[in-house]
Structure 1
């Protein structure tokens, strides 16, 4: 994508964040709800998994190369100068229990970029990595932590239910989602509960959904497939019925014979009313500020998922938007509530599995 020539990015102002009086209580309930999910699943499995995005489908080594010649507003934070970083990628789906892929739910991508210099965010002092946690939607399913808590409680109610019932529910919800889309709409709630289309995960575009600081500005980030082998998989149907690990098998099959390349793109905020910080459900208008490429991400042919990699990454690593540098500080209530929730999840997993979780 070409660099912007017409936008005027808005410098971040602390007044753009507004913390509700009851946010601490809402966050406490969020943490409790996520802990209840983890306790249920760890009891079932005899092994603790993440409270959300428990099931991984691809665990990849990659390289991120910052593009040369970025304009000053784009050359911010870890993208300030051309450089290549080692990256670990984790592809996942969002429930807190490990389900057959016929329960089709939204997808996630977390990346950990190593060797990033800069002042650290609270709680990540002494580290040198930068994490970005993304989903395959340009906006979050809920505007605020309180609304997110309602959605998470719905998800928690489905945790530990009979897998066969979840498969049936997913099929019903996919049918309902197709009806909604046929009349020009899209339901984040239907998709989050199991109505996501049965498509190949490697064709997805992933977004931070919620903003982060981008040096002196603020922005959303996306990771977009650009190599022909990947773009061919966008919206490509994938048969998941009778194949409990169909997504994982498809990712392994792809990387057995293909490399992959994505662009890392940035959407700089230009208008606080149209591009709010505290309402995570707002899709920022791309006609006002398009996503612009700042880096390339490349993964070579490799075993994309193995038991050893799962032990190392699924059990041994924390991916959190709060693990990073101050120039990419997460913004808004949904991001603020994530910090203690992610910390609880990693501490619980480390204690239950007797395996330290690293940043």
Structure 2
């Protein structure tokens, strides 16, 4: 029997009557944190409110594969071909500092060039770029914008909690589950807390050896999907610097990435997992991992990273000046669900605030060469 994939319709998303009100509160807190980070963040610059520490800006090429089955050959994946790309590897924390302090939640943000069609960003529809902003976990620890309000507070203030040792850690956990005392016992955020614990136990490995997911669901043309970048097995087998000890040095992720790319190329498979059951593969509940047994991830493209030198400080400066957002996509790939929807305006306003404070021009590049220069 052929697999029946769920067709996309607008009603797969639930309307939140308090969405706009909560969104404005999130934006206000985000802009305040970014402004304060100039003095408090330890770098003298405005930090992102998430993925504040970058590990490197990498040149790449995306090959969209030919001969894909019709249900996967949707949107940008309906047209085979190659596109230049830039990749930003980062830590998921809103703070900067030693890798051991920040943990092993990491991200891979991808920007593809020469993509046809208007984006969903009304203030920059014709950039010709297409972004993903993925994390190294198949789930997320927040399901509603209302819960995001207190979870955002917890993460922005995490150093103050954990500086108090075990009592501070216990208070952090209690405030997470109870919504800082705002939630009724029957509504305590257990699913989100357990998702956070699972993600916090991610072991530190070379950034090339992690898989990176879209966190929430996205449209895939006529269908609903999650997209991940996963190491191509043959490329992963060649990586020398594999398990990392964050206690051994202040910096471990960037040196390992830098050394590998200087010695050999690398390839990720870009894979699409189509939804077959909205009950077991939900759109609004991001704490639920979509089971591969219900719908295996299918490779639709290759992300190839050539050998390159990312060691110079200018690499980090160029990386810091870029913006990545899951909403710089075409309508056929729109992010789905309230948590994904809140990211649209929060990412945009965050980018504007950060670029203004750092006196950086906020313009989308037209090619990888424009940012990094020709590959030598």
Give TM-score, length-normalised by structure 2. 0.83
Conserved 8 A contact 1:141-1:148: no
Aligned-pair distance for 1:298? Answer: 0.4
> Which of 79, 93, 96 matches 1:95?
93
Aligned to 2:105: 106
- Where 1:138 maps in the other structure, the secondary structure is coil
Aligned counterparts of 2:228 and 2:311: Cα–Cα separation in 1: 23
Task: Rate the CA distance shift 1:261–1:273 in 2: closer, same or farther, 3 A.
Answer: same
1:144 equivalenced with 2:140 (yes/no): no
Conserved 8 A contact 1:190-1:196: no
> Which of 75, 80, 90 matches 1:77?
75
Aligned counterparts of 2:104 and 2:317: Cα–Cα separation in 1: 23
Conserved 8 A contact 2:56-2:319: no
5+ residue gaps in structure 1? 177-185
Task: Rate the CA distance shift 1:96–1:335 in 2: closer, same or farther, 3 A.
Answer: same
Give TM-score, length-normalised by structure 1. 0.87
Aligned length: 337
Q: Deviations over 1:73-116 (max 9, x none)?
A: 11011110210011100111111121201122311110001111
Task: Rate the CA distance shift 1:144–1:122 in 2: closer, same or farther, 3 A.
Answer: same
Task: Rate the CA distance shift 1:15–1:24 in 2: closer, same or farther, 3 A.
Answer: same
What do you get for the CA RMSD once the two structures are aligned?
2.5
Task: Rate the CA distance shift 1:49–1:220 in 2: closer, same or farther, 3 A.
Answer: same
Aligned to 1:340: 345
Aligned-pair distance for 1:336? Answer: 0.9
Aligned to 2:132: 132
> Which of 50, 54, 70 matches 1:52?
50
Aligned-pair distance for 1:200? Answer: 2.2
Conserved 8 A contact 1:63-1:299: yes
Conserved 8 A contact 2:283-2:336: yes
- Where 1:275 maps in the other structure, the secondary structure is coil
Aligned to 1:189: 196
Aligned to 1:224: 230
Task: Rate the CA distance shift 1:333–1:298 in 2: closer, same or farther, 3 A.
Answer: same
Conserved 8 A contact 2:56-2:316: no
1:211 equivalenced with 2:207 (yes/no): no
1:286 equivalenced with 2:284 (yes/no): no
Task: Rate the CA distance shift 1:306–1:147 in 2: closer, same or farther, 3 A.
Answer: farther
Aligned counterparts of 1:307 and 1:189: Cα–Cα separation in 2: 33
Aligned counterparts of 2:240 and 2:16: Cα–Cα separation in 1: 39
Aligned to 1:329: 334
Aligned-pair distance for 1:311? Answer: 1.7
Task: Rate the CA distance shift 1:69–1:53 in 2: closer, same or farther, 3 A.
Answer: same
Aligned to 1:354: 359
Counting only pairs closer than 5 Å after superposition, residues 296-315 of structure 1 correspond to structure 2 as: 296-314=302-320
Conserved 8 A contact 1:204-1:234: no
Aligned counterparts of 1:260 and 1:61: Cα–Cα separation in 2: 11
Which shifted more, 342-351 or 268-277? Answer: 268-277
Conserved 8 A contact 2:355-2:361: yes
User: Runs in 1 of length 4+ with deviation above 6 angstroms?
Assistant: none
5+ residue gaps in structure 2? 174-192, 365-376
Aligned-pair distance for 1:136? Answer: 0.7
Q: Deviations over 1:291-318 (max 9, x none)?
A: 100001100111134321222221x211
1:261 equivalenced with 2:259 (yes/no): no
Aligned to 1:12: 8
Aligned-pair distance for 1:187? Answer: 4.4
Conserved 8 A contact 1:53-1:96: yes
Task: Rate the CA distance shift 1:218–1:99 in 2: closer, same or farther, 3 A.
Answer: same
- Where 2:157 maps in the other structure, the secondary structure is helix
